[in-house]
């Protein structure tokens, strides 16, 4: 007998019919002899709708209260899923994060999971019930609701998979698996059978929002295999697994686009040791992830420092940067330049093959797309471009590496 954790994303539980369809999947896994735990997201666009509702009441809602509100989305779905299973004649029990001691830190809106009390889940599985767990939410040690960042139900899935030592985490979504690029933007994108944790980690980090980065991090750390599948059909999806030797033959395995980036530039700060540490230390304390850092040293012993953040973090970063500028004696206020995007290619084969950067830069140059900044890792190359060029760049780069052709 195996143990399977399934997760159903928003579209896969958007209507009562879809909740029933998802419930049938859980039942099928149970009848095949497995113990089954199910993680669910909020129905359809519920999370977006709740955020919009909050903003109608308050421009910049306090994060604790926003999490209090958003957690209700997933709480609806768990109860409905348990009811659907009951209607289908099966025993099930639903749990909020608090009810299974899914404890996080208190970084509201981006909380990290610290522990899960697996005993309560095990007892219910042992009693033959299907266990339904609310994705995306956690509780602090004080019992306050937190959320795990957008796409956070993926993290709930993998964390449960890890603590329950599941044989597989099945991530049911609205596409057939992981593609060589977002199939909604690139029509020629191809589904891949397998992808390594490292590649998926990089892809998720640069815009492939099908999985949340933290979920992949967890999966890699605990060796939990993830199977990404379509909830609307029976097709085999994509397996996210540890790297194997033959993966190196494929130089580039995917391309991705991250939209809605903003560049922050802090001008004329003193050019001396400790300034960058202070700036980025304070930004990190505010739980904001920055990327694409550039520092230019000027003639007058000052430096200009710029970096990109996700547009959604602007409300959080502005007060920090405005204050830092004043404290460091910069003559001007920070500059915020929006409407940027990042195009990236990822592949473990880049460790042993050369020429990828050159081909990517030439493709963008031939299309007259200006590269504003370049960053690389061992298995990734990223270029900052104007947002308006984003979709075209993704298609061009995807085709330049023949990603649509089967390998």
Under the rule (CB under 5 A), what is the footprint of Mg ion? 9, 151
State in angstroms the smallest separation of the CB of 279 from ligand ADP: 32
Subset of residues 152 to 171 that bind ligand ASP, contact rule: CB under 6 A: 152-154
Q: Which stretch binds ligand ADP (CB under 6 A): 72-80, 107-115, 202-210, 338-346?
A: 202-210
Q: What angle do CA 402, 405, 407 make, to 5 degrees?
A: 105
Which phi and psi (to 5°) does residue 93 adopt?
-145, 135
CB of 365 to ligand ADP, least distance (A): 25
Applying CB under 6 A, what is the total number of residues that bind ligand ASP?
A: 13
What count of Cα atoms within 13 Å lies in the side-chain half-sphere of residue 125? 22
> Is 151 a binder of ligand ASP (CB under 6 A)?
yes
DSSP secondary structure string for all residues of 49-90:
HHHHHHHHH-SS--HHHHHHHHHHHHHHHHHHHHHHHHHTT-
Residues 6 or more apart in contact with residue 132 via CB below 8 angstroms: 37, 38, 39, 40, 78, 81, 82, 85, 92, 93, 94, 95
User: For ligand ASP, which is the closer residue by CB, 100 or 397?
Assistant: 100
77 binds ligand ASP (CB under 6 A): no
Contacting residues for 254 by C-beta, under 8 A, at least 6 apart? 178, 179, 180, 181, 192, 195, 199, 203, 208, 345, 346, 347, 403
Question: Residue 22 and residue 60: Cα distance in Å, rounded?
Answer: 35
Alpha-carbon gap, residue 89 to 136, rounded angstroms: 28
Sole window of 149-157, 195-203, 334-342, 388-396 interacting with ligand ASP (rule: CB under 6 A): 149-157
Alpha-carbon distance of 207 to 202, in angstroms, equals 9
Member of 11, 12, 41, 231 binding ligand ASP (CB under 6 A): 41
Interface with ligand ADP includes 174 (CB under 6 A)? yes
Only one of the segments 162-170, 171-179, 327-335, 373-381 lies at the binding site for ligand ADP (rule: CB under 6 A); that segment is 171-179
With residue 343 as reference, give the H or E element that holds it: strand 335-346
47 is an interface residue for ligand ASP by CB under 6 A? yes
Does position 302 interact with ligand ADP (CB under 6 A)? The reply is no
Residues 203-242 that bind ligand ADP (CB under 6 A): 208-210
Contact between residue 128 and residue 33 where contact means Cβ atoms under 8 Å apart: no
**Residue whose C-alpha is closest to residue 188's, from 388, 407, 406, 380:** 406
136 binds ligand ADP (CB under 6 A): no
Computed over its alpha carbons, how large is the radius of gyration of the chain?
22
Is residue 6 within 8 A of residue 36, CB to CB? The reply is yes
Q: Which two tokens stand for residue 159?
A: 């964390």
**Cα 336 to Cα 258: distance, rounded to the nearest angstrom:** 18
Six-digit token pair at 172? 């049911």
Residue 47 or 140 having the CB closest to ligand ADP: 47
Instruction: Pick between residue 73 and residue 390 the one whose CB is nearest to ligand ASP.
Output: 73
| Binding partner of 136, given ligand ASP, ligand ADP, Mg ion, none, CB within 5-8 angstroms per partner class | ligand ASP
Q: How far is the CB of 193 from Mg ion (least distance, A)?
A: 21
How close are the terminal C-alpha atoms of the chain, in Å?
A: 35
Residue 182 binding target from ligand ADP, ligand ASP, Mg ion, none, CB below 5 to 8 Å by type: ligand ADP
Q: Which of 149, 151, 237, 390 binds ligand ADP (CB under 6 A)?
A: 151
The residue among 41 and 140 lying less far from ligand ASP, judged by its C-beta, is 41
- Establish if 175 lies at the interface with ligand ADP (CB under 6 A): yes
9 binds ligand ADP per the rule CB under 6 A = yes
What residue 174 binds from ligand ASP, ligand ADP, Mg ion, none (CB within 5 to 8 A, per partner kind)? ligand ADP
41 contacts ligand ADP (rule: CB under 6 A): yes
Chain residues that interact with ligand ASP, rule: CB under 6 A: 9-10, 41-42, 47, 73, 135-136, 150-154
Chain residues that interact with ligand ADP, rule: CB under 6 A: 9-12, 41, 151, 173-175, 178-179, 181-184, 208-210, 254
């Amino acid at each position: 007998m195996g143990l399977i954790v399934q997760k159903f994303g928003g579209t896969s539980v958007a209507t009562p019919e879809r909740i029933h369809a998802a419930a049938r999947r859980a039942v099928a896994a149970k009848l095949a002899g497995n113990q089954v735990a199910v993680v669910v997201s909020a129905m359809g666009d519920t999370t977006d709708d709740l955020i919009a509702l909050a903003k109608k009441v308050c421009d910049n809602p306090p994060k604790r209260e926003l999490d209090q509100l958003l957690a209700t989305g997933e709480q609806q779905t768990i109860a409905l899923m348990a009811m659907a299973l009951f209607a289908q004649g099966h025993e099930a029990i639903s749990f909020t994060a608090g009810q299974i001691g899914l404890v996080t830190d208190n970084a509201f809106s981006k909380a990290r999971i610290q522990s899960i009390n697996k005993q309560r889940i095990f007892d219910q599985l042992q009693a033959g019930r299907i266990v339904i767990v609310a994705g995306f939410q956690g509780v602090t040690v004080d019992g306050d609701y937190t959320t795990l960042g957008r796409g956070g139900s993926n993290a709930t899935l993998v964390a449960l998979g890890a603590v329950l030592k599941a044989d597989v985490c099945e991530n049911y979504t609205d596409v057939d698996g992981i593609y060589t690029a977002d199939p909604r933007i690139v029509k020629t994108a191809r589904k891949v059978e397998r992808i390594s944790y490292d590649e998926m980690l990089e892809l998720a980090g640069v815009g492939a929002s099908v999985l949340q980065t933290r979920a992949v991090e967890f999966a890699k750390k605990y060796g939990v295999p993830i199977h990404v599948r379509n909830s609307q059909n029976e097709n085999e999806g994509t397996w996210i697994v540890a790297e194997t030797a033959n993966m190196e033959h494929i130089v580039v395995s995917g391309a991705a686009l991250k939209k809605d980036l903003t560049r922050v530039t802090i001008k004329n700060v003193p050019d001396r040791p400790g300034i960058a540490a202070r700036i980025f230390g304070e930004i990190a304390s505010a739980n904001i992830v920055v990327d694409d850092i550039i520092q230019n040293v000027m003639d007058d012993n000052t430096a200009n420092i710029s970096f990109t953040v996700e547009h959604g973090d602007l409300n959080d970063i502005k007060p920090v940067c405005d204050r830092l500028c004043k404290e460091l004696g910069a003559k001007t206020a920070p500059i915020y330049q929006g409407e940027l995007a990042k195009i990236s290619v990822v592949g473990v084969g880049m460790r042993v093959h050369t020429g990828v950067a050159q081909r990517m830069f030439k493709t963008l140059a031939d299309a007259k797309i200006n590269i504003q900044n370049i960053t690389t890792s061992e298995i990734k190359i990223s270029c900052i471009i104007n947002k308006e060029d984003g979709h075209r760049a993704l298609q061009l780069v995807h085709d330049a590496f023949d990603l649509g052709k089967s390998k």
